[in-house]
Homo-oligomer: A and B are copies of this chain.
Amino acid sequence: MILQAAKVQFAAHGLNGARMQTIADEAGLPKANVHYYFKTKVSLYLAVLDDIIDRWNEFQDIQIDDDPAEALDRFIRSKVRFSFEDPVSSRLFASEVLQGAPHLGGYMREQLRPWVQHRTDVIQGWIDAGKMRAVDPMQLIFLIWSSTQHYAAFEPQVLSIMNKPRYEPKMQAEVSNFLSNLILTGCGLTPPEPS
User: A residues engaging B (CB < 8 A)?
Assistant: 11-19, 91, 94-95, 97-101, 104-105, 108-109, 112-113, 116, 133, 135-136, 138-140, 142-143, 145-147, 149-151, 153-154, 156-158, 160-163, 174-175, 178-179, 181-188
Contact = CB atoms under 8 A, between A and B. Distances in A.
Total identical chains: 2
Interface of A is mostly: helix
A101 B14 contact: no
A112 B95 CA distance: 23
A80 to B, nearest CB: 12
Contacts of A149: 146
A124 B84 CA distance: 27
Nearest to A175: B139
A108 B16 contact: no
B101 A160 contact: yes
Centre residue among A97, A98, A135 by max chain B CB count within 10 A: A98
Contacts of A105: 156, 160
Given A108-B160, A112-B160, 14 more contacts: A14-B95, A16-B17, A16-B18, A94-B98, A97-B157, A98-B153, A113-B160, A116-B161, A135-B178, A135-B182, A136-B174, A142-B147, A183-B186, A185-B188
